[in-house]
Amino acid sequence: MITICDTGPLVAYLNPNDPYHSWAVALMKQARSPMLTTEPVLTEVAYFLRADRVDVDPLFQLLERDALRLDLQVAEHWPRLRTLMSRFSCRNTTPRV
């Protein structure tokens, strides 16, 4: 199984002041490593962390430890991504607070 990580969970995980931080920490403990993401997600996460004056270095530490990998080439996998997005389109992944 592959874990694909988007901006929201990464920001919540790395920002202790985020209202979903606890949820993201629990989620990351369950995720298979390495999680895959894209360069645009990395850029967005860094932007949101800096906007909240949160150190971005832990983001790069995830990359150094190979817990997060910039290895998701959407062009190669879009048919599978399309299937997954369709299958989980009704699934509510927003944490309840």
Tens digits of residue pLDDT in 62-83: 999 999 999 877 777 778 878 8
HEC states along the chain?
CCEECCHHHHHHHHCCCCCCHHHHHHHHHHCCCCEEECHHHHHHHHHHHHHCCCCCHHHHHHHHCCCEEECCCHHHHHHHHHHHHHHCCCCCCCCCC
Give the mean pLDDT of 5-33.
Answer: 93
Global pTM?
0.76
Lowest mean pLDDT across 22-26, 82-86, 92-96: 92-96
